[in-house]
């Protein structure tokens, strides 16, 4: 594929903007794009302390799916998936979106119950999904070991055909390019160190490149959101943890789809160029170090070989860690904060990439109108007080 | 793989421990007297600093004792 | 071509090998690459995207071109594959092939501690290791770059003793340290063993990698790194070309010039420096200038300088040396640009970098650094040594290098990353599109992402980007180095944790009986539990109906040993349990048992089970099978971190006790026979009490009247040692009553008929005791963990999802577990509002129909309503009922 000749400018920050988005990851860039496209708001800056899309956007395993259990989650992820389906045309960028389907495997009777429950809920929500028997699993992905004599035999799985993968970097560049074209300033190397306030509302940010004023400010800084919010005394129910992933060398096509297993803990796909892309489990401890402990990778390799014996001779060529911000119910927080004109989009944990266009859409709406879109209305900070959680821990799927 | 110093057993590998999150979050003396907001703070809200963090570990595969420590969440170095 | 003498190969041991279907020969001590060159095979498979001819480029782990598939293993570097007899290899165009692994090699892991770990077995590494070990410190020396065999001390400067002799010096030769983690934790790949090394000090002597130079058509077969050419000549006695040009920016390539001349090659030197040093042997022409282009049909036949064309079949290139800082960078040490290369700056862990890895290329200076590091490490670990005398090494005068980042030419054929086939044109395109960060350019061009880990492309790429932007590479900074620094196989990382050893299997002492009697098993946590016991010709449904019928009408028995069991002991044990459970245990009389439920702080059901009071200060708590470890963790956390003043201790006794449930109207008769000393009458032994007794075969037992089925039932607890004997005794005494063993499925059906929920099946972390219709178990008098959460606005809603029963309108139709229920008037076009889902669903022998449990919105207030389960091709209608289907008045539990 060919990249466009022009991507983005390297502008100097202006003194003030209508909207500032903190964090030029996928979510921040998509928000900037939809602010311009859907709401005509183009006097916007996206501030990034490093290089754009260099955080979790550059570190995730690029899985896209919408087969979540709860209505609230299903609605926002399905909205995102529908956007994904037209996004390459919309952004005029071939970011290698491939609807190769996602299999979520079941290994225990309880897995089977949960998978069935989720497929039924998905279908009633208008989301494609079906239950596959072990033989059908093997037809979809012949390299999965579905034999009964492994430690945790495959008892079946859920299958979402419209799910798939995309090339994460290109997605970010595609949003950045269009946002830049609308006049949005993408400012890299600009670290937000605090906020400028007037009474109980924010009016701007302090940065390593001077103060910048704004009418509304949206935080989309993933694992760093707590640190930013804490400068205003806002406490968020987030914990930042390392999440590791890895790739193999380039290999001839062997894996046609995306396979996820909660019980054996594997999620793996094969990227377009040929490398196997695999995610590991979350490291238990809080960290901003962008690296995790190697035993997590070793466990991941063992789990992968349980399901895919053919991977034994593949090579690990690179591992890396991102920082995921995890909420108590494994669902995000998108909306208002106790401080006027300050809005957050955080707590995506391990699931942020797939939601990218959907988040951009609703967070742009939230920033444009000062109140949430119907789709992010349930994802409030208040739910932790009322108890109206959206508890995806209860769902069968690994939240990646 | 962190090297964690158990106050009872000495330095041991991370795989022998479980993480317990923020330290010094006491169970409220009288939960019933708390507002919903105050109770939610106790149940769901924890500090998430970038830097020194007072946290808890339990030596699950050793003496099974809980202990507090301070670790830098950027370098992962233990400071106590 | 093989030279007539020299090298470290064993010419008495010829080996044959096959490459791309052609048979060749080499010698013991060859790498696949050196043996290829000996046979005149320099060319490898064409490049990945451009399909350009490529050749062996290096002699080590930096090799970008010569990728081969050896048997089932893809993407190996021919330069690091040790030649073995009968080896079969295929050259690869950058893409490997996975095949089902027929060999199933076994991989293993070792864990070790050492005082000092030295990585790199060159002169500096060996010097550091022997110095550090001299005072008695435990030292481990890991040879980085040797493909196999022992660490060789070839050409070692005089005065360095061989390492192998020192008592505390362990040498892992042919090993590769590839991952450097927190607290000096280093992973080393050594053949089929993965070493985990925890070191108090680490000395990195990982050397440096020679860098290529970017010029037009710099990718032809016949173009090699200068150091590699020298290594092939001196180590393997192979000459890659007879008519050579050496293109260099620095002094180091003159050693290659000398080796080439000595081997009889004709040599011309092109030196980028205006005044090249006088280092070439007599008669070798040295030109000050640059190579601008190369020529050849496939293999190199000529090179061009600015003003000359030189015929040749080998071009040896040296663009300077980049210290191998991968591991240092992984350890979070920072790097600094010194004008020529990135060198280690500030360490972040207890380590030293010495020699070429530190940018110190002079041998004498490197040995001094190594000695100092060894002395310091020895002192730091408590085994000090006096500084040893320095070996006599000649100091050399060095003419400063003159780095060349880019020679003018056609950017489309100026290769920056040979493996990824990326050129200067690709970099220009990225920079031209607006990219400024090297991370972006790297991702745009894929430079540095190959199996060679960018060893010959990262620095040249930074040089080109810097030139484009008018800055220095130091201004750009380097990209992050991440483990592994050399590729390692998935199988090595997985080690033994595969197949049967992937996860532990727990079985009860009675397991062998279940196997012998044809049980089908279910995985529950780590346990293998009997699921049902089909008789010949029976399917699951028939077997389960039979087992259920036996329990309801006769007597049946189940191995319940997997239930979690915890002894809670201490003066405050009762008080502690009161704070954990939603209901009270402090006043439970000794000799009695009580069912209890626990919540997490969020008020959601966490675990349940029956607790017996053995003595004033002693309780015997049972948990769910899957929840046992979590409950013990939970108890310990609260007692240690919140209420250390309470006198209470916990002991897991899950494995110490075997538990056998004896269930059914005839169970009293069977227990009477099994426990002859026991008065089993209802008056003497009432429900929810227990008795200590001795079984008919002499086994001491604790028998409780506990029922998870609503039937008259007993639980016989014996020491795990006697589990099988007790089981056999009950089975024998039960024979006259046709006692029937049953599994988890029957247990589930029986409890569901009584509306007893299973935590984890009928709950999912969003369900409170009230939601389950069990408000009776929630104490109003005392606090317990999670109680306050039950008052939150959403949690206190009266219309939450409730556990209710569902009776399919057609009594033969079975609702699938996981079916979503919708209102009978709901339009069936998505999104369809869902009322809840089926958590448990069975065919009941005693009800002679199907039934289900479900969590339904406002369910307790919808009894009698008909809901629909749309299942794609069909819809099942069911009526909402109370969750208790059988013996609502509880008449059966006393027999």
| Same domain, yes or no: C371 and C442 | no
DSSP sequence for C78-91: TTTPBP-TTEEEEE
**Beta-ladder partners of C193:** C108, C190
Whether residue B78 lies inside any domain: the answer is no
Query: Is the pLDDT reported for residue C159 higher than 50?
Result: no
Instruction: Report which of residues C173 and C113 the model is more confident about.
Output: C113
Are C183 and B2 within 8 A, CB to CB?
A: yes
Instruction: Give the pairing type, strands C108-119 and C139-142.
Output: parallel
What is the phi/psi pair of residue C130, to 5°?
Answer: -65, -35
User: Given CB atoms, is B12 within the 8 Å cutoff of chain C?
Assistant: no
* Residues A125-181: tens digit of each pLDDT: 999 999 999 999 999 999 999 999 889 999 999 999 999 999 999 999 999 999 999
Beta-carbon neighbour count of residue C157 at 10 Å? 18
Interface mutation vs chain C, best among B19, B21, B66, most C CBs within 10 Å: B66
Are C718 and C565 in contact, with CB atoms under 8 Å apart?
no
ipTM over 0.85: yes
Please name the member of C182, C602, C788 whose beta carbon is closest to the beta carbon of B76: C182
Q: Is A86 exposed, middle or buried (0-12, 13-18, 19+ CB in 10 A)?
A: exposed
User: Given CB atoms, is A328 within the 8 Å cutoff of chain B?
Assistant: yes
| Same domain, yes or no: C625 and C670 | no
Are B48 and A289 within 8 A, CB to CB?
A: no
What is the phi/psi pair of residue C325, to 5°?
Answer: -100, 10
User: Given CB atoms, is A58 within the 8 Å cutoff of chain C?
Assistant: yes
| Same domain, yes or no: C351 and C438 | no
Q: Which residue has the tokens 């943890």?
A: A241
Whether residue C387 lies inside any domain: the answer is no
Tell me which chain C residue has its CA closest to the CA of residue A74: C831
Q: Which residue has the tokens 């238990």?
A: A284
Interface mutation vs chain A, best among B4, B39, B48, most A CBs within 10 Å: B48
Rounded CA separation A220/C891 (Å): 61
Are B73 and A227 within 8 A, CB to CB?
A: no
Rounded CA separation C814/C850 (Å): 6
Q: Closest Cα partner for C568 from C490, C651, C639?
A: C651
Query: Is the pLDDT reported for residue A394 higher than 70?
Result: no
Q: Is C780 exposed, middle or buried (0-12, 13-18, 19+ CB in 10 A)?
A: exposed
pLDDT (mean) for C226-251: 97
Are A288 and B36 within 8 A, CB to CB?
A: no
Of all residues in chain C, the percent with pLDDT exceeding 70 is: 96
Taking the CA of residue B26 and the nearest CA in chain A, the distance in Å comes to 17
Are A315 and C505 within 8 A, CB to CB?
A: no
Contacts 24+ apart (CB under 8 A), A361-364: A361/A30, A361/A34, A361/A38, A361/A79, A361/A80, A361/A83, A362/A76, A362/A79, A362/A334, A363/A27, A363/A31, A363/A34, A363/A218, A363/A220, A363/A334, A364/A30, A364/A31, A364/A32, A364/A33, A364/A34, A364/A35, A364/A38, A364/A39, A364/A41
Orientation angle between helical segments C667-674 and C723-734, nearest 10 degrees:
120
| Same domain, yes or no: C601 and C689 | no
Whether residue C91 lies inside any domain: the answer is yes
**Range of weakest confidence among A301-310, B27-36, C135-144, C549-558:** C135-144
Rounded CA separation C240/A93 (Å): 46
Instruction: Give the pairing type, strands A16-22 and A44-47.
Output: parallel
Query: The whole model's pTM is what?
Result: 0.95
Tell me which chain C residue has its CA closest to the CA of residue A70: C834
pLDDT of residue A2: 80
Are C333 and C184 in contact, with CB atoms under 8 Å apart?
no
pLDDT of residue A290: 86
Average pLDDT of chain C, as a whole number:
94
* Residues A329-375: tens digit of each pLDDT: 999 999 999 999 999 999 999 889 999 999 999 999 999 999 999 99
Query: Is the pLDDT reported for residue C564 higher than 80?
Result: yes
Q: Report the CATH number that the domain containing residue C806 is assigned in CATH.
A: 2.40.30.110
Query: Is the pLDDT reported for residue C148 higher than 50?
Result: no
- Show residues of chain A in contact with C855, CB under 8 Å: none
Whether residue B58 lies inside any domain: the answer is yes
Are B75 and C198 within 8 A, CB to CB?
A: no
Please name the member of B15, B44, B76 whose beta carbon is closest to the beta carbon of A237: B44
Rounded CA separation A384/A391 (Å): 11
Are C836 and C892 in contact, with CB atoms under 8 Å apart?
no
* Residues C411-470: tens digit of each pLDDT: 999 999 999 999 999 999 999 999 999 999 999 999 999 999 999 999 999 999 999 999
| CB contacts < 8 A (A, C) | 237
Are A120 and C819 in contact, with CB atoms under 8 Å apart?
yes
Are B48 and A239 within 8 A, CB to CB?
A: yes
pLDDT (mean) for C384-396: 79
Host domain of residue B22? 3-72
Are C793 and B60 within 8 A, CB to CB?
A: no
User: Given CB atoms, is A380 within the 8 Å cutoff of chain C?
Assistant: no
pLDDT of residue A118: 96
Please name the member of C185, C636, C642 whose beta carbon is closest to the beta carbon of B64: C636
- Chain A window 103-122: which residues touch C at a Cβ cutoff of 8 Å? 107-110, 112-121
Please name the member of A237, A289, A295 whose beta carbon is closest to the beta carbon of B1: A295
- Show residues of chain C in contact with B1, CB under 8 Å: 181-183, 185, 196
| Same domain, yes or no: C217 and C314 | yes
| Same domain, yes or no: C252 and C342 | no
Whether residue B28 lies inside any domain: the answer is yes
Whether residue C405 lies inside any domain: the answer is no
pLDDT of residue A130: 96
Taking the CA of residue A191 and the nearest CA in chain B, the distance in Å comes to 15
| Same domain, yes or no: C535 and C664 | yes
DSSP sequence for C632-687: HHHHHHHHHHT-TTS--EEEE-TTTEEEEEEESTTHHHHHHHHSTTS--STTTS-T
A226 three-class SS: helix
Are C185 and B3 within 8 A, CB to CB?
A: yes
Rounded CA separation A8/C731 (Å): 79
Of all residues in chain C, the percent with pLDDT exceeding 90 is: 90
* Residues C470-492: tens digit of each pLDDT: 999 999 987 778 999 999 999 99
* Residues C741-780: tens digit of each pLDDT: 999 999 999 999 999 999 999 999 999 999 999 999 999 9
A275 three-class SS: strand
Are C842 and A141 in contact, with CB atoms under 8 Å apart?
no
| Same domain, yes or no: C574 and C638 | yes
Q: Report the CATH number that the domain containing residue C580 is assigned in CATH.
A: 3.30.70.1400
Whether residue C425 lies inside any domain: the answer is yes
Are C854 and C804 in contact, with CB atoms under 8 Å apart?
yes
Q: Closest Cα partner for C845 from C556, C557, C547, C554?
A: C547
Are C387 and C375 in contact, with CB atoms under 8 Å apart?
yes
Please tell me whether the peptide bond between C831 and the residue prior to it is cis, using omega within 30 degrees of 0. Answer: yes
* Residues C782-809: tens digit of each pLDDT: 999 999 999 999 999 999 999 999 999 9
Residue C498 Rama label (left phi>0; alpha psi -120 to 50; beta): beta
Number of domains in chain B: 1
Are C477 and C86 in contact, with CB atoms under 8 Å apart?
no
User: Given CB atoms, is A51 within the 8 Å cutoff of chain B?
Assistant: no
| Same domain, yes or no: C557 and C664 | yes
Whether residue C172 lies inside any domain: the answer is yes
| Same domain, yes or no: C312 and C235 | yes
DSSP sequence for A123-170: HHTT---EEE-HHHHHHH-TTS---TTSSS---EEEEETT-EE--HHH
- Show residues of chain B in contact with C789, CB under 8 Å: 39, 43
Q: Closest Cα partner for C408 from C512, C326, C313, C292?
A: C292
Beta-carbon neighbour count of residue C565 at 10 Å? 22
Are A224 and B44 within 8 A, CB to CB?
A: no
Number of domains in chain C: 6
Host domain of residue C663? 511-561+657-750
DSSP sequence for C691-750: EEEE-TTS-EEEEE---SSSSSEEEEEEEGGGHHHHHHHHHHHHGGGT-EE--HHHHHHH
Which of C652, C682, C716 terminates a domain? The answer is C652
Structure tokens at C82: 């040790």
Residue A330 Rama label (left phi>0; alpha psi -120 to 50; beta): left
pLDDT (mean) for C61-84: 96
Q: How confident is the model at residue A269 (pLDDT cuts 50, 70, 90)?
A: very high
Structure tokens at A47: 């501030």
Structure tokens at C326: 């991968």
Structure tokens at A192: 């937000």
Q: Closest Cα partner for C269 from C319, C316, C301, C321?
A: C316
Structure tokens at A361: 């859409």
Q: Report the CATH number that the domain containing residue C745 is assigned in CATH.
A: 3.30.1360.120
What is the phi/psi pair of residue C224, to 5°?
Answer: -140, 165
pLDDT of residue C506: 97
Are C262 and C244 in contact, with CB atoms under 8 Å apart?
no
Q: How confident is the model at residue A223 (pLDDT cuts 50, 70, 90)?
A: confident
In chain B, what are the helix, strand and coil shares in percent, each to the nearest 5? 20, 35, 45
DSSP sequence for A306-360: HH-GGGGG-EEEEEEEEEEEE-TTS--EEEE-SSBTEEEEE--TT-HHHHHHHHH
Rounded CA separation B53/B72 (Å): 6
CA atoms within 13 A on the CB side of C365: 13
Residue C206 Rama label (left phi>0; alpha psi -120 to 50; beta): alpha
| Same domain, yes or no: C291 and C332 | no
Whether residue C390 lies inside any domain: the answer is no
Rounded CA separation C698/B23 (Å): 51
* Residues C582-640: tens digit of each pLDDT: 999 999 999 999 999 999 999 999 999 999 999 999 999 999 999 999 999 999 999 99
Q: Closest Cα partner for C73 from C38, C32, C120, C134?
A: C32
Are C875 and C866 in contact, with CB atoms under 8 Å apart?
no
- Chain B window 2-21: which residues touch A at a Cβ cutoff of 8 Å? 2, 14-15, 18-19, 21
Rounded CA separation A285/A239 (Å): 9
Whether residue C881 lies inside any domain: the answer is yes
Whether residue B79 lies inside any domain: the answer is no
Rounded CA separation C91/A213 (Å): 59
Whether residue B42 lies inside any domain: the answer is yes
Structure tokens at A161: 């055909």
C180 three-class SS: strand
**Beta-ladder partners of C557:** C662, C741
Whether residue C861 lies inside any domain: the answer is yes
Q: How confident is the model at residue C167 (pLDDT cuts 50, 70, 90)?
A: low
Q: Report the CATH number that the domain containing residue C366 is assigned in CATH.
A: 3.50.50.60
The beta-strand segments (E) located in chain A are 16-22, 44-47, 63-64, 102-106, 130-132, 156-160, 164-165, 185-187, 192-198, 201-207, 212-219, 239-250, 258-261, 266-270, 275-282, 315-326, 333-336, 342-346
Q: What is the CA radius of gyration of chain B?
A: 15
Tell me which chain C residue has its CA closest to the CA of residue A391: C766
Whether residue B80 lies inside any domain: the answer is no
For C102, which DSSP code? S
Query: Is the pLDDT reported for residue C162 higher than 50?
Result: no
pLDDT of residue C170: 87
| Same domain, yes or no: C310 and C216 | yes
Taking the CA of residue C788 and the nearest CA in chain B, the distance in Å comes to 6
Q: Report the CATH number that the domain containing residue B44 is assigned in CATH.
A: 3.30.2270.10
């Amino acid at each position: 594929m060919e990249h466009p000749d022009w991507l983005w400018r390297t502008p100097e920050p202006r003194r003030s903007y209508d909207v500032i988005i903190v964090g030029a990851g996928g979510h921040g860039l998509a928000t900037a794009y939809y602010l311009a496209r859907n709401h005509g708001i183009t006097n916007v800056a996206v501030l990034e302390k490093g290089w754009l899309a260099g955080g979790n956007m550059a570190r995730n395993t690029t899985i896209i799916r919408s087969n979540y259990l709860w209505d609230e989650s299903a609605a926002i992820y399905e909205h995102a998936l529908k956007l994904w389906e037209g996004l390459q045309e919309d952004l005029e960028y071939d970011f290698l979106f491939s609807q190769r389907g996602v299999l979520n495997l079941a290994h225990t009777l309880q897995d089977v119950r949960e998978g069935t429950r989720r497929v039924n809920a998905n279908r009633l929500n208008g989301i494609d999904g079906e239950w596959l028997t072990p033989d059908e699993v093997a037809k979809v992905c012949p390299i999965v070991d579905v034999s009964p004599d492994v430690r945790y035999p495959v008892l079946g799985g859920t299958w979402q055909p419209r799910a798939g993968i995309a090339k994460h970097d290109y997605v970010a560049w595609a949003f950045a390019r269009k946002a830049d074209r609308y006049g949005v300033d993408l400012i890299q190397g600009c670290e937000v160190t605090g906020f400028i306030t007037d009474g109980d509302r924010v009016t701007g940010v302090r940065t390593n490149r001077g103060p910048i004023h704004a009418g509304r400010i949206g935080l989309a800084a993933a694992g760093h959101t707590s640190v930013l919010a804490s400068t205003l005394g806002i406490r968020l129910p987030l914990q930042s943890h390392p999440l590791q992933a890895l790739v193999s060398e380039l290999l001839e096509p062997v894996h046609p789809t995306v396979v996820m297993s909660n019980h054996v803990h594997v999620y793996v796909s094969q990227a377009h160029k040929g490398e196997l892309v695999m995610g590991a489990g979350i490291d238990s401890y809080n960290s901003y170090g962008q690296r995790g402990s190697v035993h997590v990778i070793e466990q991941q390799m063992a789990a992968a070989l349980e399901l895919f014996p053919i991977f034994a001779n593949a090579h690990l060529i690179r591992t890396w860690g991102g920082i995921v911000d995890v909420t108590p119910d494994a669902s995000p927080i998108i909306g208002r904060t106790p401080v006027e004109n300050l809005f957050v989009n955080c707590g995506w944990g391990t699931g942020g990439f797939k939601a990218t266009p959907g988040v951009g859409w609703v967070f742009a709406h939230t920033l444009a109108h000062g109140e949430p879109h119907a789709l992010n209305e349930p994802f409030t900070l208040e739910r932790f007080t009322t108890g109206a959680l959206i508890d995806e821990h209860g769902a069968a799927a690994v939240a990646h | 793989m962190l090297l964690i110093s158990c106050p009872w057993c000495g330095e041991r590998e991370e795989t022998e421990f479980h993480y317990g999150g923020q330290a010094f979050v006491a169970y409220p003396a009288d939960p019933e007297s708390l507002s919903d907001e105050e109770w939610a703070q106790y149940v769901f809200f924890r500090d998430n600093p970038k830097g020194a963090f007072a946290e808890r570990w339990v030596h699950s595969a050793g003496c099974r004792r809980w202990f507090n420590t301070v670790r830098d969440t950027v370098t992962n170095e233990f400071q106590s | 071509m093989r030279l007539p003498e020299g090298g470290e190969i064993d010419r008495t041991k010829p080996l044959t090998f096959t490459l791309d279907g052609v048979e060749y020969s080499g010698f013991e001590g060859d790498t696949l690459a050196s043996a290829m060159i000996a046979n005149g095979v320099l060319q490898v498979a064409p490049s990945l995207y451009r399909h350009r001819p490529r050749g062996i480029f290096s002699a080590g782990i930096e090799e970008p071109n010569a990728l081969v598939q050896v048997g089932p293993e893809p993407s190996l570097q021919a330069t690091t594959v040790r030649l073995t007899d009968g080896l079969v290899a295929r050259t690869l165009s950058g893409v490997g092939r996975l095949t089902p692994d027929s060999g199933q090699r076994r991989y293993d892991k070792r864990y070790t501690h050492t005082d000092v770990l030295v990585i790199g077995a060159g002169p500096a590494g060996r010097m550091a290791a022997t110095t550090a070990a001299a005072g008695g410190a435990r030292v481990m020396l890991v040879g980085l770059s040797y493909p196999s065999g022992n660490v060789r001390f070839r050409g070692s400067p005089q005065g360095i003793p061989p390492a192998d002799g020192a008592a505390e010096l362990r040498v892992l030769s042919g090993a590769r340290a590839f991952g450097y983690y927190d607290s000096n934790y280093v992973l080393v790949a050594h053949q089929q063993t993965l070493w985990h090394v925890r070191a108090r000090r680490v000395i990195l002597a990982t050397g440096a990698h020679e860098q290529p130079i970017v010029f037009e058509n710099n990718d032809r077969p016949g173009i090699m790194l200068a150091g590699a050419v020298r290594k092939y000549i001196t180590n393997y006695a192979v000459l890659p070309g007879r008519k050579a040009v050496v293109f260099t920016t620095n002094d180091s390539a003159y050693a290659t010039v000398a080796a080439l001349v000595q081997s009889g090659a004709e040599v011309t030197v092109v030196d980028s420096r205006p005044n090249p040093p006088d280092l070439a042997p007599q008669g070798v022409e040295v030109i000050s200038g640059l190579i601008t282009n190369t020529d050849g049909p496939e293999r190199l036949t000529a090179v061009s300088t600015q003003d000359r064309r030189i015929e040749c079949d080998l071009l040896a290139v040296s663009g300077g040396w980049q210290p191998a800082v991968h591991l240092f960078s992984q350890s979070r040490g920072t790097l600094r640009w010194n004008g020529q290369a990135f060198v280690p700056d500030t360490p972040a862990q207890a380590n030293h970098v010495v020699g070429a890895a530190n940018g110190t290329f002079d041998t004498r200076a490197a040995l001094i650094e190594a000695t100092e590091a060894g002395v310091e490490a020895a002192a730091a670990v408590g085994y000090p040594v006096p500084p040893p005398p320095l070996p006599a090494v000649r100091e050399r005068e060095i003419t400063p290098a003159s780095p060349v980042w880019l020679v003018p030419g056609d950017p489309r054929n100026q290769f920056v990353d040979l493996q990824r086939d990326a050129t200067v044109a690709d970099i220009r395109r990225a920079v031209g599109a607006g990219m400024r960060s090297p991370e972006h350019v790297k991702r745009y061009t894929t430079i540095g992402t190959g199996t060679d880990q960018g060893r010959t492309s990262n620095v040249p790429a930074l040089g080109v980007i810097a030139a484009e932007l008018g800055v220095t590479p130091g201004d750009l900074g380097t990209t992050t180095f991440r483990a592994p620094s050399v590729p390692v196989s998935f199988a090595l990382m997985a080690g033994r944790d595969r197949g049967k050893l992937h996860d532990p299997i727990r079985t009860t002492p009675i397991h062998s009986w279940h196997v012998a009697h044809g049980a089908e098993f279910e995985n529950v946590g780590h346990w293998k539990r009997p699921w049902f016991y089909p008789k010949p010709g029976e399917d699951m449904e028939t077997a389960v109906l039979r087992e259920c019928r036996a329990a309801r009408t006769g007597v049946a028995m189940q191995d319940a040993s997997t239930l979690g069991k915890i002894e809670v002991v201490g003066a405050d044990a009762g008080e502690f349990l009161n704070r954990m459970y939603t209901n009270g245990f402090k006043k439970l009389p000794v000799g009695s048992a009580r069912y209890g439920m626990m919540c997490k702080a969020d008020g959601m059901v966490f675990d349940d089970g029956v607790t017996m009071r053995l003595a004033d200060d002693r309780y015997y708590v049972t948990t769910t099978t899957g929840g046992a470890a979590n409950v013990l963790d939970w108890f310990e956390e609260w007692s240690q971190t919140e209420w250390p003043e309470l006198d209470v201790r916990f002991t897991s006794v899950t494995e110490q006790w075997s538990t056998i449930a004896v269930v059914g109207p005839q169970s009293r008769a069977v227990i009477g026979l099994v426990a002859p000393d026991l008065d089993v009458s209802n008056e003497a032994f009432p429900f929810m009490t227990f008795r200590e007794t001795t079984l008919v075969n002499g086994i001491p037992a604790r028998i409780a009247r506990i029922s998870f089925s609503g039937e008259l039932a007993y639980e016989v607890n014996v020491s795990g040692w006697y589990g099988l004997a007790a089981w056999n005794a009950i089975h024998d005494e039960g024979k006259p009553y046709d006692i029937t063993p049953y599994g988890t499925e029957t247990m589930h059906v029986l409890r569901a008929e009584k509306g007893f929920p299973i935590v984890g099946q009928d709950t999912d972390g969003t369900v409170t005791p009230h939601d389950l219709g069990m408000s009776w178990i929630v104490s109003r008098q005392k606090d317990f963990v999670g109680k306050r959460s039950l008052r939150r606005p959403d949690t206190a809603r009266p219309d939450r999802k409730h556990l209710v029963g569902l009776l399919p309108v057609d009594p033969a139709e079975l609702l699938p577990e996981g079916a979503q229920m919708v209102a009978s008037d709901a339009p069936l076009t998505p999104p369809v509002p869902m009322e809840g889902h089926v958590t448990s669903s069975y065919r009941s022998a005693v009800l002679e129909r199907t039934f289900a449990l479900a969590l339904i919105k406002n369910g307790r207030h919808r009894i009698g309503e008909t809901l629909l389960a749309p299942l794609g091709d069909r819809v099942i209608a069911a009526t909402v009922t109370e969750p208790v289907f059988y013996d609502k008045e509880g008449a059966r539990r006393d027999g």
